[in-house]
Amino acid sequence: MNRFETNLRIPGPTSLPSAVREAGSRQMINHRGPEFAGMLERVISGLQGFYGTTNDIVLLTCAGSGGLEAAIVNTLSPGDRVLGVSIGAFGDRFAKIARVYGADVSKIDIEWGRAAEPDDLRRALEADNGYKAILLTLNETSTGVMNPIRELAEVARELAPDALILMDGVSALGAIPFEQDAWGIDIAVSGSQKSWMAAPGMAFLGVSERAWAAGTTARMPRFYLDIAEHRTAATTGQTPFTPALTVLFQLDVAMGLMLAEGADAIYARHAACAAATRAGLAALGFSLFADPARASGTVTCAWLPEDLDWKAFNTEMKRRKLVVAGGQGKLTGKVFRIGHLGTVTLDEIVACIGVIEESLLALGREITPGAGVAAAQRAGLEAIGAAPRVGAGA
């Protein structure tokens, strides 16, 4: 780790590779010219690969939440019945947006720390399947839980074949295998500042033909977020309004880095970092918040022990230039979270666990120096299949 720079280990915005940072300092260009059109085309075609879709992907200049709002207002009408499947703070937000625009929202509230299991959705849809849309979260950033999205979509398709599946994928798309078309996800939303290694400022929506069709009759009000306008503008290599060019410059470079690394290598790197984070924290005595079977590949949430004061702990970490995230909503002061998505490497996670170790030692906690680092290192290497094969030499 670099002592002159903050080590940002929050679940977005994620830190930027230097080439991406440099791209952010470029001079402006005409956003109605061929250079822009080429850039838009490259970014969209790169995104399509990671989304697993051949459909249009819409780039909006807004935060990820604006992308969620766009998914709602472009497909629904006031009074439409919507099922919000929430496993945490972001699932609550998605349902709230639908409610604000007048949808008739029913909610399944899964206990925080658990995923929505296919049977949870099956029970809800067997009782009532008259929904126009089902809202799902791919990765719940507030709890560090990843939903079995493919299985959930399967249940939704089987029991509520007419319902649109709208998915918040903001904190996981680009970091884990995903197949929008094959899994039948109607809208998949993500944001530039998470796995995509760019600054905040743009949201992406993968939109199925069914969702485009729903848009032709959807009556929720929309102007800036009207994705049909974006689709039309894209045919001439433009966006309807002035886009966040600086973010696009960065995305263009970041996408180049992602394509050069390759999707499989990116997914393996994320899996290794996730495994290392969990193992390192567990070895230091932390209880992990998520159901282990559904632990997130991009963010890990851990309970703060009763006798560990968050402020003091966080001060020690910040002193060592490590920035992690606290708890959100009702988990404030009870948990902390480590983001391991985007440009992150196993070395960085091992170093991060090392800083947590030093911080705990500074607070006088009884841990064995090196225990967390060793566990993280081993779990990470095992996950990428590079663990030393103990006893295999004979």
Ligand X SMILES: *Cc1c(COP(=O)(O)O)cnc(C)c1O
Q: Which residue among 46, 52, 64, 372 contacts ligand X (CB under 6 A)?
A: 64
Q: Which residues are within 8 A (CB) of 82 and not within 5 positions of it... i.e. 6 or more apart?
A: 76, 95, 98, 103, 104, 105, 106, 131, 132, 133, 134, 135
Smallest gap from Cβ 134 to ligand X, in A, equals: 16
The site map against ligand X for 139-168 (x = CB under 6 A) is --x--------------------------x
Among 121, 170, 273, 331, binds ligand X (CB under 6 A): 170
Among 10, 63, 268, 371, binds ligand X (CB under 6 A): 63
* Spatial separation of the C-alpha atoms in residues 212 and 326, rounded to whole Å: 38
Establish if 12 lies at the interface with ligand X (CB under 6 A).
yes
Residue 90 touches ligand X, criterion: CB under 6 A = yes
When CB distances to ligand X are compared, the closest residue is: 64
Distance of CA 142 to the CA centre of its chain: 11
Q: Please identify which residue in 48, 65, 129, 238 interacts with ligand X, judged by CB under 6 A.
A: 65
Stretch near ligand X under the rule CB under 6 A, chosen from 50-58, 61-69, 209-217, 264-272: 61-69
Residue from 14, 55, 74, 171 binding ligand X (CB under 6 A)? 171
CB-facing half-sphere around the CA of 48: CA atoms within 13 A: 14
Number of residues this chain uses to bind ligand X (CB under 6 A): 12
Residues 178-207 that bind ligand X (CB under 6 A): 191
Shortest distance, position 183 Cβ to ligand X, whole Å = 18
Per-residue buried b or exposed e for 7-40, using 16+ beta carbons within 10 Å of the residue's own CB: bbbbbbbbbbbeebeebeeeeeeebeeeebeebb
- In whole angstroms, the minimum distance from the beta carbon of 130 to ligand X comes to 27
* CB proximity list for 59: less than 8 A, separation 6 or greater: 40, 43, 44, 202, 203, 204, 230, 239, 243, 248
Contact by Cβ (8 Å): 267, 344: no
Mutual angle of helices 346-362 and 263-283, in 10-degree steps: 20
Window 300 to 339, contacts with ligand X (CB under 6 A) = none
| Residues within the interface to ligand X (CB under 6 A) | 11-12, 63-65, 90, 137, 141, 168, 170-171, 191
